[in-house]
Structure formats: structure tokens, C-alpha cells
Amino acid sequence: MTIGRRLRIPAVSALALVFLAGRIAAPSRAARQAPGETPRPGGTLRIRGFAQPFNPVFDPARPSHYFITEQLYDGLVRFDTRFNPMPALAEYWTVSPGGKSITFYLRKGVRFHNGRVLTAEDVKYSLERLVRNRPGNTYFQYFTRQVVGAQEFWEGKAPEVSGFRAVDPSTFEILWTRPYVSGLYLLGMYYCKVLPKDLLESQGRNFFLKPVGTGPFQFGEWLRGPQLEILGVRLERNPSYFERKPYLAAVEYSPHFTDGQFEAGVVHMSSVTPEGPGGQRYQLLENNTLKTFFLALSCDLPPLDRPEVRRALALALDKGPLAEVYASASSSYQVFKSYIPPLLPGFTPRAEAPLADPDAAKLLLDRYLPESGRGNLRLELLIESPKTDAKARFARELGRQLEALAIRIDVRYLRAADDAVDVRTPYLKLLEFTMDFPDPENILVPLYHSRAVVNLMNSRYASPQLDALLERTEVEPGWEKRASFFREAEKILLKDTPAIPLFSERVRLAVRPQVRGVRLPALGFIFLDLRDVWMAP
């Protein structure tokens, strides 16, 4: 059985998406926001999606359209605009003395879209899915060290995670192996959503043909092309949502919507900025994401095994042009100087650093390089496949800047991220890192702890002093004390320079003027709360 409708092709353009024809009236005139304007219920919001191709499996535990999973499902907690964990499915929670357990008290009467009441068993089952050993699962690493019994479950030695406890139908408890300060941040992320245990067990992967959650919108139908291929999805207002209901009646989402449909006013939000005269008729918003870029340096290979040489390279780079050549119609890139991205200013102030100074960098290199001198130095620039225009432009600009130091680079594309492990010549590696939860621990530990897998695949950096500081941050319950540990860690990194911070991603979103109530979320547009959005006539 197929879910959805076959729709006719509109005459917007030869490449236009097929499913808008016959369903959309002529676009209304743009409405301006008036003081004290009252939200108007109803209407369908159409969004040009944030990623291609369209993956019709809305599983929060796998790479997916997380914008959609945010609308379909809820987690125990969510974030406010200042990154504070706030109640969602959990009405409140308590932390035990010593911090080794946390107990969540679920809201009473929350129902899945099919009408069944949410229970703690659903929470336990959904989190255990993240620990299960299966191809493509990387989230287990955030639980196996932290949750009692998670390692044994992942290894197949136990039938359940003993540290996930359904105390009663409305009470769920997590037992940590040691106090885990970042636990609430982890539980607020897009992959920690709660799904119905009974439907997943009985339907398996077929569950995602018509997914069921507790979120403010519920699955309506697939939007299909002329060959019945799935090109998008329609979500509809959940009339039984446990909090304030959305104003919108429905949302239609597809990455296959076109510039022409946006300019015509039948598509209302676009993650790709249309070019041309129509740009005057919409608002352009920009927001940070959790994605940051670094140049990882091979700290175990001469001459990059010397911190002085690594600092000299960092001093030589002008990051502004590197960020500019990487930009696209949908994204810009903000230069940053510190090892903790500017997205998280509340934890660690941005460290000041000198501007690019190639002359000073030359003096340092002449002083610290072997007698053969920098003129004979060749470095490999490692870039993960696939090759893109942005990556090629970045490589050319980086080569131009290093050429001023008489340093040559050879560009090499890697088939897989871990291919750098076998490289035995000094290298720079363009490292794109997306945080899995918004806490400094989630960038400093994986990138720079001596035993972290990501570090071993990139910088191969080791500092016992840094390791000790990072391990203290994982258990320190006091926020001010914990922030001081991060500041100290950043001082070590600035001195040792195992990687060069480059820039962080900012995503652009074009919004038609009749769309009201768009509030920029702290963690990027995929977390946009559509309950606030409404359509003016």
C-alpha cells in the first residue's frame, strides 16, 4: 500500500517539483507584521528542505531529516534559547546526592499520534536503540562509558541496559557509572527522541512508512512524483498535543521545491537563497549550526611534532579568505579564534588571538625548522571525499597562503575519515566536526583527548595535562568550576596548537513576508519550533 497522492507537474520550470500543481491557489499578497497582530490559525507552510536527497526514513537514531523528526517526536527535555535544558516529555526531574542517578517524572496523559499513552517503557526502549550494536550506529559511544550496563548491552552480553530503569509507567531513571554533568544536554538532542515500543517491535522498519510520535505535528502523507517516487512529506497539526497546539494546519517539506516556486509565493521558506530581483521580497535570516571546521595537524610527525612549528602555521593563516571561498548560496562561515566555537559563548569566553602575521610566522619557522629550512617543506593537505567545488577552492587558497612561507602542499582526497591513520608524511587535514550535543566537552574530548577516536584519526595529539582537565569536567557538578577547567584546557590548546580553528557554519533561510512567528533557535534551523509559526492572509 502506498501512502500519498500522485500529483500533476506544475509549469514553474522544467526542473520544478511535481506535486504542487492542482493543490495551490494563487499566492496571496505579502502581509506586513503589524503591532499587536494576533496569530491566525490554519494554513499550510511549504518549506524547501535543508538536505538532499530526500530520505523518507524519519528515524532519529539514523542520519535523517532532523527538521522533520523534531516535529514528529519529543524527547525527555528540550533546549531554550540559552541552551538550558527545559521540560518536554518529562515534567520535571531530580538528581540524586552525588549525581550518579537522575529520575524523570513523565507528564501524565501524553499520547502518541495513534492515541496510546506514553510510558516509561517507551523511553527505555528508545534510548536502548541508541546503544544497540548495529551498522551505522555511532551514538552508543555517548552511553557505553556513562550508563550502568550500557557497555554489556552493546557487547551483546546483557539483554537490556540495566542503567535505564522504568520504575513505573510514569517514572524513568538513569544510573550513571559516575556523575555525568552533560547528560541533560545529551538527552535534549535530536537522536534522543521517544518512539512507541509496541509499534517498532511489531512493525520493524515498516514503522517509518507511517511514523508515530508525540510531537506537535503528525504524519499526513508522502508527496510523490510522476513515477510515485517519494519527494517530500506532509505533516498535519496534532490536535492532541500535550502543550500549546501549532497554529499551522499543515507543513509540506521537500528539498525538491524550486527557486521559481519560492518566487511565485507557493513555497514559503527556502534553505537555498534564490538569486535575482525577487530577493527584495523576502527576509533573509542567518543562524549558527553545530558544525565547525579545523585544520588538524599531524602532531606525531616531524616537523609538525613541534608546537612552535604548529603555532607558526596558525599565525600565518588569514582565515577570512578561507571562509569566503567555502561559502555557498545556503551557508556562510564565521571565522573563530578559539577551540570552543562561538555558538557556545556561555561556557568559555572567546580567546583573543593575534591577526595573521606571515612575516612573524617566517621568523618562527626559520628558527625552529631543521637546517634544511622551510623552503624544502612539503605538507599533504588531506580532505575527505567527495570532492566539491568549495573544497577545491579552499585547497587553492590555503596553498596560496602557505606558498608565501615557501611551503608547498599536495592535495589528497581520502575515501574514508580514518584513512589518515595510515598517512606517515606530515599533513594538514581539513576537519569538519558537528557536535552531537551543545557542551564544550563534546568538542574538546573527541578532538583532543589522547584516547579519543576522532583525535587518533586526525591530530594524534597527546597531553596528559589536558586529559586530566577534561576528565575532571566530566564529573564536576559546579558550572563555574567546570567552566574554569574549560578555560584552562583552551590555554593548553592555544599553546600546543594541535589544530587550527578556522570557521563555523551559518545557514541562511529565506522567508516569504506572509510567514510570521519565526524565532531563531539556539541550535540551528533544524530545531525551529513550528508551533510559533503562522501564516498571514
Its pTM stands at 0.82
- Least trusted range by pLDDT, from 30-44, 382-396, 487-501: 30-44
Among 168, 190, 214, which residue terminates a domain? 214
Strand partners, 44: 250
Same structural domain for residues 104 and 10?
no
Same structural domain for residues 294 and 272?
no
Cβ–Cβ contacts within 10 Å for residue 87, how many? 15
Nearest residue to 511 via CA among 532, 495, 490, 487: 532
pLDDT interval class at 349 (50, 70, 90):
very low
Same structural domain for residues 125 and 199?
yes
Same structural domain for residues 21 and 136?
no
What pLDDT sits at residue 375? 65
Among 214, 234, 261, which residue terminates a domain? 214
Domain assignment present for 128 = yes
Computed on alpha carbons and rounded to an integer, the radius of gyration of the chain in Å comes to 25
Distance CA 338, CA 292 (A): 11
Domain assignment present for 38 = no
Average pLDDT of every residue of the chain: 86
Does residue 240 have a pLDDT over 50?
yes
Question: What CATH number corresponds to the domain at position 408?
Answer: 3.10.105.10
pLDDT interval class at 395 (50, 70, 90):
very high
DSSP 188-235: TSTT-B---HHHHHHHGGGGGGS---SSSEEEEEEEE-TT--EEEEEE
Same structural domain for residues 331 and 441?
yes
Under DSSP, the state recorded for 111 is B
What integer is the mean pLDDT of 325-354?
A: 73
Question: What CATH number corresponds to the domain at position 148?
Answer: 3.90.76.10
Same structural domain for residues 180 and 93?
yes
- Least trusted range by pLDDT, from 246-250, 306-310, 341-345: 341-345
Judge whether 59 and 518 are in contact, CB under 8 Å: no
Domain, as residue range, for 140? 74-214
- Least trusted range by pLDDT, from 114-128, 270-284, 392-406, 460-474: 270-284
Same structural domain for residues 121 and 199?
yes
Domain assignment present for 343 = yes
Cβ–Cβ contacts within 10 Å for residue 236, how many? 17
Domain assignment present for 39 = no
Same structural domain for residues 268 and 298?
no
Does residue 448 have a pLDDT over 60?
yes
Domain total in the chain: 3
Distance CA 412, CA 399 (A): 13
Q: Express as a percent the part of the chain with pLDDT over 90.
A: 58
Judge whether 453 and 482 are in contact, CB under 8 Å: no
Higher pLDDT, 352 or 10: 352
What integer is the mean pLDDT of 429-441?
A: 89
Higher pLDDT, 372 or 136: 136
Nearest residue to 90 via CA among 127, 140, 40, 131: 127
Omega before 303 within 30 of 0, i.e. cis: yes
Same structural domain for residues 179 and 64?
no
Higher pLDDT, 381 or 55: 381
Domain assignment present for 264 = yes
Judge whether 165 and 461 are in contact, CB under 8 Å: no
What pLDDT sits at residue 9? 28
Same structural domain for residues 410 and 294?
yes
Domain assignment present for 65 = yes
Domain assignment present for 7 = yes
Q: DSSP strand E in 404-498: where?
A: 408-414, 427-434
Among 214, 229, 255, which residue terminates a domain? 214
- Which range of 55-59, 341-345, 367-371 scores highest in mean pLDDT? It is 55-59
Three cell numbers at 285? 535570516
pLDDT interval class at 27 (50, 70, 90):
very low
Same structural domain for residues 209 and 237?
no
What pLDDT sits at residue 463? 97
Same structural domain for residues 486 and 522?
no
Domain assignment present for 40 = no
Question: What CATH number corresponds to the domain at position 23?
Answer: 3.40.190
Residue with cell 541533560: 184
What integer is the mean pLDDT of 117-141?
A: 91
